[in-house]
């Protein structure tokens, strides 16, 4: 029997798998089609203070070894979210985390407080959103990111994870800043910017022209972020995220220094993929005489 439990600081997860924000809806409305019992946690789609309409179609496009999306974080706003999903959170067969997004630190904090009141188990801070004052994504800048995390920290007693971007010029500096501001862990990473052109229509594949690239092609980019941050701060808990399709990908992230691993785009092709991936992780551990997945965390040795 392999011990699949893991920890993010003092926060315990039943397995190292996390369902990534935006790929399992509100979590509540995906219970019937997902295998949430295989996950340590499932993260709801990011939610803002007021409703956001999102971008017009087209907002998804398969590209190369992955996918582009430019959804624009469509969501009903925090008041409707709490009313609609709050009462059902306890029925989900894993921990549900909320994801806060906004254009000012105060908006992030307002949403985090309301999510906490609704009964989520942790708050993820989606820093891949433009800063109202500077017009740049928060996650690009250590100081702006720390400001958001500090505001969220003050607004909740729940564990807080900061979701960073591979577009940051120095992801290690951003990780250090958010940890200092009170984040209990970092999520590495969100999508990387990408674009594609339809050569028949001569138009961008997405209505927003540029969007987030996810899936298999993102994996080495996110893995680099996990590696760099773990090498710089071995004590900072990390959730690896990007291009996970099988148990081997999970093992690789754990070896690079992640304590848990999130699955995103794979859900769009196979909503129940978590059960298969958990079984593959367990089988790999059995084959390699690994009694507990925590033994693997950061176990890759630099040359
Ligand atoms: C359609 C779609 C919607 C997403 N929406 C969100 C979101 O609302 N909040 C967020 O933090 N990340 C969002 N993400 C990013 C994923 O959570 C994940 O970080 C990213 O897709 C990389 O993982 P993957 O390669 O396994 O998909 C979204 C991704 C996709 C594909």
**pLDDT tens figures, 185-227:** 999 999 999 999 999 999 999 999 999 999 999 999 999 999 9
Mean pLDDT for the stretch of residues 72-100: 97
Question: Mean pLDDT throughout 246-259?
Answer: 98
How many residues are present in the chain?
303
3-state secondary structure of 154: helix
- In the predicted structure, residue 280 carries a pLDDT above the cut 90: yes
Instruction: Give residue 303 CA to ligand 1 midpoint distance, Å.
Output: 32
The pocket around ligand 1, CB under 6 angstroms, is made up of 20-23, 45-46, 69, 71, 73, 99, 126, 163, 190-191, 214-215, 218, 241-244, 263-265
DSSP strand E in the chain: where?
6-8, 11-13, 17-19, 41-43, 60-63, 66-69, 95-100, 123-126, 160-163, 185-188, 192-195, 197-198, 203-204, 210-214, 238-241, 260-263
pLDDT of 185: 98
CA 150/CA 143 separation, integer angstroms: 10
How far away, in angstroms, is 190 Cα from ligand 1 center? 6
Q: Give the residue, 1 or 216, on which the prediction is more confident.
A: 216
Answer yes or no: 129 catalytic.
yes
| Per-residue pLDDT tens over the stretch 105-159 | 999 999 999 999 999 999 999 998 877 777 789 999 999 999 999 999 999 999 9
- Pocket probe for ligand 1: among 22, 24, 274, the residue whose CB has the most ligand atoms within 8 Å is 22
Give the model's pLDDT for residue 187.
98
Angstrom distances, CA of residue 253 to CA of 258, 261, 263: 6, 7, 12
pLDDT in tens, 151-193: 999 999 999 999 999 999 999 999 999 999 999 999 999 999 9
Q: How far apart are the C-alpha atoms of 172 and 142, rounded to whole Å?
A: 9
CB atoms within 10 A of CB 299: 13
> What sign for the dihedral angle of Cα 60, 61, 66, 69?
negative
Query: What pLDDT, on the 0 to 100 scale, is given for residue 265?
Result: 98
Percentage with pLDDT > 90 across the chain = 96
CB atoms within 10 A of CB 176: 18
The arithmetic mean of pLDDT across residues 24-32, rounded, is 97
Q: What is the mean pLDDT of residues 90-103?
A: 97
């Amino acid at each position: 029997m392999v011990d699949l439990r893991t920890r993010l600081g003092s926060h315990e997860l039943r397995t190292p798998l996390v369902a990534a924000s935006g790929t399992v809806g509100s979590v509540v409305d995906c219970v019937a089609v997902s295998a949430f019992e295989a996950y340590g946690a499932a993260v709801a789609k990011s939610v803002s203070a007021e409703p956001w309409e999102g971008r017009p179609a087209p907002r998804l496009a398969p590209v190369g070894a992955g996918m582009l999306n430019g959804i624009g974080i469509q969501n009903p706003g925090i008041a409707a979210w709490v009313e609609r999903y709050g009462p059902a959170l306890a029925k989900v067969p894993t921990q549900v985390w909320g994801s806060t997004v906004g254009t000012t630190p105060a908006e992030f904090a307002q949403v985090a407080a309301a999510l906490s009141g609704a009964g989520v188990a942790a708050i993820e801070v989606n820093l891949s959103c433009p800063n109202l004052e500077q017009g740049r994504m928060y996650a690009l800048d250590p100081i702006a990111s720390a400001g958001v995390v500090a505001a969220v920290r003050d607004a909740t007693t729940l564990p807080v994870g900061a979701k960073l971007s591979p577009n940051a010029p120095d992801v290690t500096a951003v990780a250090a800043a958010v940890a200092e501001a009170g984040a209990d862990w970092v999520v590495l990473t969100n999508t990387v910017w990408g674009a594609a052109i339809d050569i028949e229509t001569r138009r961008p594949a997405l209505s927003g022209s540029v969007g987030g690239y996810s899936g298999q092609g993102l994996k080495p980019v996110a893995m680099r972020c996990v590696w760099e941050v773990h090498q710089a701060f071995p004590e900072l808990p990390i959730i690896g995220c990007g291009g996970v399709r099988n148990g081997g990908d999970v093992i690789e992230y754990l070896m690079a220094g992640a304590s848990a691993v999130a699955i995103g785009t794979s859900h769009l092709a196979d909503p129940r993929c978590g059960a298969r991936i958990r079984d593959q992780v367990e089988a790999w551990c059995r084959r390699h005489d690994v009694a507990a997945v925590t033994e693997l965390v950061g176990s890759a040795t630099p040359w």
